[in-house]
Structure 1
Amino acid sequence: MQKKLNTRSMIFTLFGDYIRYYGNEIWMGSLIKLLEPFHHNEQSVRSAISRMSKQGWVVSRKETNKSYYSLTERGKKRMEEAAGRIYRIEPEKWDGKWRMLLYNIPEEKRQIRDELRKELIWSGFGLLSNGVWITPNNLKEQIYDIIDKYEIKEFVYFFEAENEGFQANQQIIRSCWDIDHINNLYQKFIYAYENKMIENCKKIEQGQMSDKECFVERTLLVHYYRKSLFVDPGIPKELLPKKWLGEYAAKLFNDYYKILAAKANTFFEEIYLAGYSNHEKQTVSK
């Protein structure tokens, strides 16, 4: 597991796992306080939130001398997509169709290509051949959003198709994604957290883990699981190898998450609500 945590990435984790359930807004002072246990100082938090604002993920509002940040509509949609993948236990069933995306971006728009590639990979597309992206999942809505975002409708072709060729569907999967690498990431996650869950469950039952410690542990759990998961395009069950560890890792994640949830939420609420008046606290509480 990686040791150095990216500030921007951690802020996304907090928005996705906590803040969006509490009115989708947080005072900068509370955000700084929540990130202190992860060794992020005030300057790094302010710099990261500034970049996120320029990139269109968050928007700010001022009230007296306080700054509050919330997710934009784009940010909310990304968090919803992420949550659908993070908290899913079983792979989706396959409808037997492949979705294919082809594009021919003109040279004057070449700066869009790298961004488009990142968006497609994040959404779960794999590169079948040069300029041809493919997925067994129904990502029509995500594709339309990406096309509208970059205003490239006239340069994109999008098809739904069935495999009538000579390569088995499982072989197509292996051609587009490194299945063994993804499975290995799940193995590392299981190795890191399987015994840890048992040990910390006992500590919580015996009153040996504080609310703050549970908050840190749950946040790191989500953060690391999210990083492993987003390499996984969410391949349907019918197309996965027999020895697939994704489902076991998902169950481990959900079980441990529930064990930590109550005490973690208590700590978060204490810091979060410090940024609001008594009247406001009644409206922003979960």
Structure 2
Amino acid sequence: MNTRSMIFTLYGDYIRHYGNKIWIGSLISLLKEFGHNEQAVRAAISRMYKQGWVESKKKGNKSYYFLTERGEKRMEEAAERIFKFNPEDWDGKWRMLMYTIPETKRNARDEFRKELVWSGFGAMSTSTWISPNNLEKQVRDLIEKYEIETYVDFFVSEYKGPNDSRELVEKCWNLDEINEKYNEFITYYSQKYVIDKNKIQRGDMSDAECFVERTNLVHEYRKFLFVDPGLPEQLLPDKWLGSHAGSLFSEYYRELAEPASRFFEKVFEDGNELKHKDKAYNAMEHPLIME
């Protein structure tokens, strides 16, 4: 797996709950469990630093890395976005965004487009994007972030046909492809869950192994943030597998949560301070978990 992506997963699922800061030595020790060597970890964290995701701080001869405001915001957005798998009732309205961003702002335009996909918008055309979800705040933040107020128009409207809303969805998202990804997740992890649950109950699975499996599980599940727009139930196909995948994730995560956290803390306390752990944090109540 990509070292940089795994570091993001560790920040999102662990580090941000422990003061949002970690000694590079601890990060290297954690990533070794996944087969990433020291050189790869240092290169990845350096790249994240240059991209503005993390900042560094020296304490004695040790270097510590913590998420920037931008990085923290992205982690919070990701946690909130997870609730798309259990969406609220649809208000029947569509959010439509249109833009004519000039070639002189090409980089901003490309980044803006990626952010729209991340937020759950679907493309009707190159410069016209829609979503049934209430994303007004995200849109305002993005327009301000990329300084493109002059080039963007945003509407909240009703769809009057001539087709129905589900046909509109089919034009903008390939739900069959997304559903197949859910099916692959369920097929692989349902069997793995049963095997690991039995191993844990027999005491045949170490805390380190649980840490690896929990991190891998979150890493794979969070990929749906990039492909599933989180449509309201009214717009989903009858045999949608998103909820099934979410329930499987929740059950598997709960089995792994406590031993995985024990291992993380054992590694973390060497070079870091556990006193910075968020007292309200409980791995069994992870924001990804569906009740």
TM over 0.5: yes
Q: Specify the SS of the correspondent of 2:270.
A: helix
Q: Specify the SS of the correspondent of 2:133.
A: coil
* Partner of residue 118 from structure 2, selected from 119, 122, 125: 122
In the alignment, what sits opposite 1:283? Answer: 276
Deviates more, 1:261-270 or 1:129-138: 129-138
Q: Specify the SS of the correspondent of 2:155.
A: strand
Q: Does residue 133 of the first structure (1) align with residue 126 of the second (2)?
A: no
Summarize the Cα distance change of 1:164–1:88 in structure 2 as closer, same or farther, 3 Å threshold. Answer: closer
In the alignment, what sits opposite 2:229? Answer: 233
> What are the equivalent positions in structure 2 for 1:162-201 lying under 5 Å apart?
162-201=158-197
Q: CA deviation at 1:89?
A: 5.1
Q: Does residue 244 of the first structure (1) align with residue 237 of the second (2)?
A: no
In the alignment, what sits opposite 2:267? Answer: 271
Do 1:56 and 1:72's aligned partners in 2 also have CA atoms closer than 8 Å? yes
RMSD value over aligned CA atoms? Answer: 1.4
Q: Does residue 46 of the first structure (1) align with residue 42 of the second (2)?
A: yes
**Distance of 1:270 and 1:208 partners within structure 2:** 19
Q: Which amino acid aligns with 1:120?
A: L
Question: Deviation digits for residues 107-126 of structure 1, max 9, x if unmatched?
Answer: 21122222111111111111
**Distance of 1:205 and 1:162 partners within structure 2:** 53
Q: Which amino acid aligns with 1:175?
A: K
**Distance of 2:61 and 2:82 partners within structure 1:** 36
**Distance of 2:120 and 2:85 partners within structure 1:** 17
- TM-score, scaled relative to structure 2: 0.92
Q: Does residue 204 of the first structure (1) align with residue 200 of the second (2)?
A: yes
Q: Does residue 18 of the first structure (1) align with residue 18 of the second (2)?
A: no
Q: CA deviation at 1:33?
A: 0.7
- After TM superposition, the runs of 4+ consecutive aligned structure 1 residues lying more than 4 A away are none
Q: Which amino acid aligns with 1:257?
A: Y
Deviates more, 1:181-190 or 1:50-59: 50-59
Q: Which amino acid aligns with 1:263?
A: P
In the alignment, what sits opposite 2:60? Answer: 64
Q: CA deviation at 1:282?
A: 2.2
Count of residues paired in the alignment: 279
Q: CA deviation at 1:15?
A: 0.7
Do 2:84 and 2:231's aligned partners in 1 also have CA atoms closer than 8 Å? no
Do 2:95 and 2:130's aligned partners in 1 also have CA atoms closer than 8 Å? yes
Q: Which amino acid aligns with 1:139?
A: L
In the alignment, what sits opposite 2:285? Answer: none
Do 1:88 and 1:250's aligned partners in 2 also have CA atoms closer than 8 Å? no
Q: Does residue 213 of the first structure (1) align with residue 209 of the second (2)?
A: yes
Deviates more, 1:240-249 or 1:197-206: 197-206
Q: CA deviation at 1:143?
A: 1.3
**Distance of 1:159 and 1:68 partners within structure 2:** 44
Summarize the Cα distance change of 1:193–1:129 in structure 2 as closer, same or farther, 3 Å threshold. Answer: same
Q: Specify the SS of the correspondent of 1:60.
A: strand
Q: Does residue 55 of the first structure (1) align with residue 51 of the second (2)?
A: yes
Q: Specify the SS of the correspondent of 1:133.
A: strand
Q: CA deviation at 1:130?
A: 2.5
Question: Deviation digits for residues 182-207 of structure 1, max 9, x if unmatched?
Answer: 00000000000102111111111110
Question: Deviation digits for residues 158-181 of structure 1, max 9, x if unmatched?
Answer: 111111221211111111000000
Q: Specify the SS of the correspondent of 1:38.
A: coil
* Partner of residue 73 from structure 2, selected from 37, 55, 77: 77
- TM-score, scaled relative to structure 1: 0.94
Q: Specify the SS of the correspondent of 2:33.
A: helix
Identity across matched positions, percent: 60
